[in-house]
Structure 1
Amino acid sequence: MPLFSRKKTKSNDEALINTEDEVLGYLDEVYRKRIPLTLRLKGKSADTDILYMDEKNKVLRVQQDLFRGIQHGMDVSVGFPLDRTWWTFKSKFVLVNEKPHILIPKAINHSERRKHLRTAFTPREQVKVTVLEGLGSGNGVFGMAVDIGTGGISLTIEKAMNLSNEREIPPTETLFKPGAKLAIVKINRLPGCPLMEVSGLAKRVWRDGRWRLAIEFANLPKAQYSGILRFIEPRTLEFKPVRRSKKRREEREEARAVPRAPASEGARPETAGGAAAPSGDAGASRSAPPADPTQAAPPPPAKAGENAPEPAKEQSAPAPEASKRPTVLVLGEALLEEIPFLKAKNSPFEVIISNTPISAVKVITEDAPAMILCGTAFKGRNIVEVLEKIHNMGVLNDRKVVVCGNDLTGKDMIKLKMLKIETVIPLPMTTAQDFLQALSG
């Protein structure tokens, strides 16, 4: 919220996140929700996403070219918003393979970024605000309050007017200059308070779907300050940090991801009536003809004097080298429906499925797949846009990327060539032989 300054207060020891598991839990939440980090270095700041977490080396991969002249070992202050508050920690820049990282901290501090108490209004609280830049001069607006604090108020602009000629004008970012004095700020229907008339300073006019105006109170009288404080304090909850654990979250996800054992390997599943269902081929189809008993019967025992047949040799396990298969990263589980042989046990590839761009980046950097397989869309977005973003992170260099689909436009094909992605194969692909031929073609 741009209304108040990010003045850091003294760290709250009770809210300090100082165990390794909780620190990783908070950073994992930031990583999964793609919350940007704000890095501050020598009076300059820059925002970056966490590209991936390397828990083994205790570093976070950040974006390139954040600051000029960045050097290994430089101290940096890091902040991020979470749980409607602000968190900070101290870290250092480190270069790993000439790529920027920051060290995972040992502790994270809670730092309230607002100087004044503040609360937002509910849709049922229709608090009206009238703002006049001057009496008969300047601009004026009428709107509905969004939130209020002991230091200021913000509102949506319903109507703007030029006060000199009393004509309505469209709201723009130049409606009030930052720091412009506002002669009258009238607040009506604030619960539990009479009509208020104060002066103020325009802080910012911006648009987030609707035009908004932020105002800082100037010389707020004590009686009105007390009235606003009485309204805010009962609505302000004491801050309590959320206890996060990366270990517990991973255990929950692993428990949800454990596949059910097939009927042929474990106990036979029960039918709706509670009886055990027939296992194997016996329950596969009721209309299937019975097997030929002569084929299923074992061979008769050898007579005396005859040579007994040699027992069948057990099939030896494949050599470790033969069991190693090239790894393929598949973007989106739905693509496997068009290439079903990849899910088969005798598939020539080891398949890793990624359902989010961030997890895909992590797999590319950590597992180094031999090939990246994707359709024409991913998470509802054009695959070209997704590949461009991943390419800009610098992780697609020298990677084999294959796009599968039939609905790519000429413009998409040009963009793929610019990304050095030239392998596009049609769908569906039902056999491994067809797939390998399409790759070689």
Structure 2
Amino acid sequence: MALFGFGKDKKDGGNGQELVLAYLEDAQRVRAPFILAGPRKTETPAILQSLDEGAGTVTFQITGPLMADKGQTIELTFIQESLRVGGSARLLESRPGVAVLELPDTLDLAERRKHPRARLNPKEGATLTALTGLFEGVGITGVLENISEGGARVRVEKAMSIKGEKKLPLATGLVPVGQPFMLIKLNKVPKCPPVLELEGTAVYLDLGSSGLTLGIKFGKVRSDVASSIRNLVSSRASAIPSSLPPKTRRRPEASGGGLDDEPLVPLSRGASRSEPEPRPTPAKAAPAPPPPAAPPPAPDPAPEASAAEAEAAQQAGRSETLLRLKKRSRAVVALSRSAAFNEILKGFLEEDGFGRVLTTTFPEEVVELLRQPNLGVLFLDGNMSVMESLEFVQKLRGAFHELPPIVLAAEDISTAIVLAARRNGVNQMIVRPYALDAAFSSVLTEQMALK
């Protein structure tokens, strides 16, 4: 990731400004989802696209309009290392899909939770069932994503009317915020009894590309239940800090040749940058031979050349048409780190001409998406390390007879990683952070065209 030095207009922030840059640079590196809110408190999902330290600006890719005028204050929040971080900055420019803000003077801890929470893997099988009433009302079942002594977050899989047993649509209007649940059952929570029974209320509903998620605040919790949940949380999460923890900026290597200088690392075009191809040594020039006698004038080859050029142009036109047809008909399957980035990625690809874009933040859902017909390319940029991603690719190749070309995003890429990725069937790698631009689109298009 490129780092810039302060210019003449550097803000007088000292160590505080260094802390702001450290957090924002890490947020850009992992493509953390941001929420931008103007004076009307309307929230707009965003992804940090670039930082200009010299100019003191930060640029975001946004989904939807930003309800604010130039010069107004924008509140920004994002999740960094399981902490909710907030700040404010002045809006410098707003146009469709892009917002440019001043670099915030400070960032603060913006946690709203009173208890630390433990993240749960869907493979652990922990589920939640919530009923607004025993004989009528709404019944909800879903997969637990995280839990604390004070509440839980659940990805809703099914909702129904209790009285008529009628299936209800999964939308943010399923239950109102503040709706009490008479009965909440937690099943198969690790380090807890098989079934936990509680009461609670709905605190938020969020509809993203991965589905509907519901936040629940628990009511009064029995001491034995609280103790079980506390043991689970203490084994997976640390205490909530009282202030924003210090962070040091990542400095480039002393040699200067960082991997981020080269955003694309193709696996199908020779060795990586650490193993450059040898340059041929020029041969010693030989004495020039005497000039030959002038040959007789040859007939004009223009008609044949023109015909060849016309045929080549016609072939290029057919290839371009076929490529556009593939982009419209074949699907892009994408696994990314957040629902907010999924929305931005999908919007970018659809505007670029990709007709079908299937996104998710859960690896287990990739398997279902790969069952769709006529797939063009699989893009992997989830919350996994490079080794975990390669193991995931191996599992996919064991589960499917044929897979579309695979493009994998990684933060650090070495010769060993490139070779391991090639052995596991990855067609191309790109370096994080990457921009959603023509270069990114061309990578997916090229791989789709090769299939």
Task: Please report the TM-score for the alignment, with normalisation by the length of structure 2.
Answer: 0.45
Q: Flag the structure with larger Rg.
A: 1
